[in-house]
Amino acid sequence: MALETTLILFKPDAVTKNLTGQVLSRFEGAGLKIRGIKMMQLGDAVLKEHYAHIADKPFFPSVQGFMQQSPVIALALEGENAVAHVRDLLGPTDSKAAAKGTIRGDLGVDKMTNVCHASDSTEAAAAEVKRFFKADELFQF
């Protein structure tokens, strides 16, 4: 087992529906530790960088608009195999396909309105944590 840090973004639906505390409690209850947490409004540049893999797709403007509806909460979580652990807790990206008992299965609506973004690999996690947190904003306990 490897100790990893992964990135979570609480999406606008989680923030506006006051779901962040409930979801954070699930992550902590599963043994993950907070290394960093902050609220921010995402600008066009960071969204184009973060979603570079879809930035040229015709649906990207709707993703961008959704992610700018409200501030988001960026969360760096640490734990054993944190990337896979978080993704298991969340369930599939499409909330409609997510099993009850998973975060998206219980609280999500669809592919976009799905409570959280989560890093999908250790490489992505390293880049995403660095994108949203400065080194002095991450803490080790």
Burial zone of 57 (CB within 10 Å; 0-12 exposed, 13-18 middle, 19+ buried): exposed
DSSP result, 75-100:
EEEEEETHHHHHHHHH--SSGGGSPB
Catalytic residues: 117
